[in-house]
Chains A and B, each alone.
Chain A
C-alpha cells in the first residue's frame, strides 16, 4: 500500500537538516497521526501531517443504509463524543423532515451532550498532561470519566458507542435513578476541576511548557478554518451553542470562555473553564427537565413503544414498515453544525426522496484544526510539537472518517 512506501515525504533541503518521522505509532500523536518533520538540530524547519491511516469510508457506507441505520455509524466517527455526532446527524435529518422534537427530548439531548463534552475534555486533559509529563492528572481525569461512562451505560446500555439519540427523539426513557446519579456527579465535579487546576494551572513546569508555545493569531486561525476551543484560545468569541443555537440551547445560561494569547496555555484554560460551564448547563438541564414524551409524534418515522407494538395492529404495521423499508424523506439538502468538544461538527445530508441518504458528509472540526500545526510549530523545538498536537485535541477517527 502507498502508506508503507509513501510518496508523501519531505526531502531534506540543506546539508544541515534531516528528516524525522514521528508516528503513526507514536504515543503523543493520539492515535494514528503521522507527522514528518524536517529538523535542524532540535529546531523544526518544516512539518507535514500525513493522515488517512484510519480511513474507513464511513461516508460511502452511509449511502447504502436507511436513514435510521446511519445513527450507529456516526458514533464511530468521533469516539470521544459519540452523542454530539448522534445529535448533529439527527438534527440534520429532522430538519430535512421538518420534524418537531418534544421539549423533554431536547433537554435530555442537551444534558447528554454536555456530559459528553466533559467526558471528551477529560480525556483530552489527561492525555495532554501525560504528553507533557504530568502523569497524575491522567489518573484523576480517568477517575471522573469512568463515572460519566457509567451514566452513559445506564441510559443506553453502552459505555462508548451509545447511539442514544434517534431521529425524532431518544431511544429510551432514562431509567429510574438516572437523574439522581447525574445530580450527584454534577455536585462534586467542580471540586474535581479544582483538583486538576491545583496540579497544573500554576505549576511552573506546566507553565514553561505551555505559555508562549505554539501561538496562533486570530486571523490565521480563521483563515485556516479552526473552530471550537482552538479558535477561542486565539481570542475569537464564537460558540455555535450560543450564537446559532440548536436543540434548545437558547434556554440555557452559560458563558463562553475566551482567551487571547493563542498559545497552548490559552487553549488549556478555555477547555478547563468549559468543563465548569458544561457542568453548569448539566445542572440547569436537571433542574428544568420538562415532563412529557421523549419521541416526536410521527408514527411513520419514529418507532412505536414496545408495549404499543405488541398490542396495537397499527403500531405493529408502522414498526414493520420502518424496519423493513425505512422512511422516505422529501428531496432536499441541509447542513447542520453543532459545537462539538473540538469545534464545528457539521453534517451535510442530501436526500433524493428515497429511504436512503443520497450523500452524507461530515465536516470534521479536527481536519481543519490540524492544518494549524505547521503554523504553530515551524521554527520551534520538537518537544513543542508534542504540546501543540495535544493542544488542538485531535481525534483521528474524525479526521480520517
Chain B
C-alpha cells in the first residue's frame, strides 16, 4: 500500500464535517488543515482552541464527545516552536480528529480545555511539566511527573537526554 501524498489545501478538504463546521463559525480562526495517512489534522488559532473544542463537542454533525489525549511537540529551533496537540474521539461516530495549536517559544501559553473536558486535567499538567506550556484557567497547574523543585522541562529538544549534570 503506497503512501498517498498529504493534502494540505483547505479548499480540497472543505467536505470534512469538522473543518466545515469550524470554517463556518466566524469566531474560530482556522490556520490550516492536513489530511495524511487517513488522519485529519486542523490547525486552530491559539485564542480559539476552547471555542473550537466546545463547538466540535456540542454540534451533532461532529459529536467529538471524548478527549483522548493532549500532548505537545517541540520543533526547536523553529518558530513557532511548540505545537500543542489534541486528539478528539467521537464515540457515536467512531471517528478521530487532531487539533493543533502553534505557540511561540517565549512564554508559551493557551487556554485550558478543562472546563469542557475535566479529563484534560492530568494531560495538561503533564504538558506543562514536561514542556513548560502554560494552560490559563487550569484548576491546579502544577508539576505532575517531575518533583516540584525540578529545573527545566525535560521533553524540550534543548534539554539533553542524559539531563543537566
Q: Which residues of A contact B (CB under 8 A)?
A: 1-3, 6-8, 51-52, 55, 57, 59-61, 63-64, 95-100, 222-226, 236, 238, 243-244, 330, 332-335, 337, 344, 346, 348, 350, 358-359, 361, 363, 367-368, 370-371, 400-401
Q: Which 4 A-B pairs have the closest CB atoms?
A: A225-B119, A2-B147, A2-B148, A98-B3
**Chain B 72-122 interface residues, beta-carbon cutoff 8 Å to A:** 73-74, 85, 87, 89, 91, 94, 96, 98, 117-122
B164 at the interface (CB under 8 A from A): no
15 A-B contact pairs sorted by A residue (CB < 8 Å): A2-B150, A3-B147, A51-B144, A57-B154, A60-B161, A98-B37, A225-B66, A330-B3, A332-B6, A333-B36, A335-B87, A348-B69, A359-B74, A370-B122, A371-B118
Complex: A100 Cα to B68 Cα, angstroms = 26
Q: Is the pair B91, A236 in contact by a Cβ cutoff of 8 Å?
A: yes
CA separation between A52 and B143, bound complex, in Å? 9
CB distance from A254 to the nearest CB of B (A): 17
A98 engages B71 (CB within 8 Å): no
With A330-B3, A334-B37, A335-B39 in contact, is A368–B119 under 8 Å at CB? yes
Spell out B's residues near A (CB within 8 Å): 1-3, 6, 36-37, 39, 41, 65-69, 71, 73-74, 85, 87, 89, 91, 94, 96, 98, 117-123, 126, 130, 142-150, 154-155, 159, 161
A51 to B73, Cβ gap below 8 A?
no
| B residues less than 8 Å from A400 (CB atoms) | 145
Tell me if B68 and A225 are in contact (CB < 8 A): yes
Output the least CB separation between B124 and chain A (Å): 12
Are B87's CB and A2's CB within 8 A? no
Assuming the contacts A57-B154, A98-B37, A335-B96, asked whether A1 and B149 have C-beta atoms less than 8 A apart, the reply is yes
**Which residues of the other chain, B, contact A332 by a CB distance below 8 angstroms?**
6, 36-37
In the complex, residue of chain B having the shortest beta-carbon distance to the beta carbon of A225: B119
- Which listed residue, B85, B149, B159, touches A348 by the CB 8 Å rule? B85
Cα A52 to Cα B154 with chains together (Å): 14
Residues A61 and B94 in contact in the complex (CB < 8 Å), given A335-B87, A348-B69, A368-B122: no
A-chain residues with CB within 8 Å of residue B89 when the two chains form the complex: 344
B39 touches A223 (CB 8 A): no
Known A-B contacts A6-B148, A361-B71, A363-B68; the reply to A346 vs B119 at CB < 8 A is no
A residues near B87, Cβ cutoff 8 Å: 335, 346, 348, 363
Bound Cα distance from A97 to B3, whole angstroms? 8
Instruction: Write the chain B residue with the least CB distance to A64.
Output: B161
User: Do B144 and A52 touch across chains, with their CB atoms under 8 A apart?
Assistant: yes
Partner pick for B147 among A1, A100, A367, CB 8 A cutoff: A1
Q: How far is the CA of A28 from the CA of B122 in the complex (A)?
A: 22
On chain A, the residues within 8 Å of B121 by CB distance are 371
Q: Which residues of B contact A6 (CB under 8 A)?
A: 148
Residues of B near A51 (CB, < 8 A) are: 144-145
Additional A-B contact list (10), CB under 8 Å, known A61-B161, A335-B69 = A2-B148, A3-B148, A52-B144, A59-B155, A98-B3, A225-B67, A337-B68, A361-B69, A370-B122, A401-B145
How distant is A231 from chain B, measured CB to nearest CB, in Å?
9
Instruction: Give the residues in chain A near B39, CB-CB below 8 Å.
Output: 333-335
Residues of B within 8 A of A367 (CB): 122-123, 126
Question: Are B68 and A243 within 8 A (Cβ)?
Answer: no
Query: Given B2, B66, B73, B96, which contacts A359 in the complex, CB threshold below 8 Å?
Result: B73
Chain A positions within 8 Å of B66 at CB level? 222, 225
A8 touches B148 (CB 8 A): yes
Query: Which residues of chain B are within 8 angstroms of A223 by Cβ–Cβ distance?
Result: 117-119
Residue of A whose beta carbon sits closest to that of B142: A8
Whether B69 lies near A238 (C-beta < 8 A) is no
Give Cα A185–Cα B69 distance, bound, in whole angstroms. 37
CA distance A95 to B118 in the complex (A): 31
Q: Give the complex CA separation of A401 and B122 in angstroms.
A: 14
A344→B94 CA distance, assembly (Å): 13
CA distance in complex: A3, B144 (Å): 11
- Residues of the B chain whose Cβ atoms lie less than 8 Å from the Cβ of A98: 1-3, 37
How far, in angstroms, from A344 to B89 measured CA to CA in the complex? 11
Known: A1-B149, A335-B39. A100 touches B73 (CB 8 A): no
Among the listed B71, B149, B159, which residue makes an inter-chain contact with A2, where contact means beta carbons less than 8 Å apart? B149
**Quick one: closest B residue to A401, CB to CB?**
B145
Which residues from B are CB-within-8-Å of A99? Answer: 1
